Amino acid sequence: MHSEVLIIGAGPTGSTAAGCLADHHDVMIIEEHDTPGLPIQCAGLITPRAMPEFARGSLINKIRGAKIHSPLGFTLTLDARDTKALVVD
């Protein structure tokens, strides 16, 4: 079997790359698992720069801050004006 582009891995990056290239190239993806995305290995958080405009459909939420609770009972609150992370599905 011959293709112009071979992508190893059908995770978020491999699938996105294949989708972009498939309009103008013959693309083949090789995935080691029977079902792409299983077992789930992604935390679901990415930086805003890593989210291409065409993949915005998988955006669930935007993160500007967090509350971190320590075992000793202390809480650290982080808050930013701009988006620091994106929750994706």
According to the model, what pLDDT value does residue 2 have? 84
Per-10-residue mean pLDDT, the chain, length 89: 89 86 94 80 79 75 94 94 89
Q: What does the angle CA 9 – CA 38 – CA 62 come to, to the nearest 5 degrees?
A: 85
Q: Is the dihedral of CA 27, 33, 34, 39 positive or negative?
A: negative
Cis bond before residue 36 (omega within 30° of 0): no
What's the pTM? 0.49
Residues 45 and 55: their CA atoms lie apart, in Å, by 14
Residues 8 and 30: their CA atoms lie apart, in Å, by 5
According to the model, what pLDDT value does residue 31 have? 92
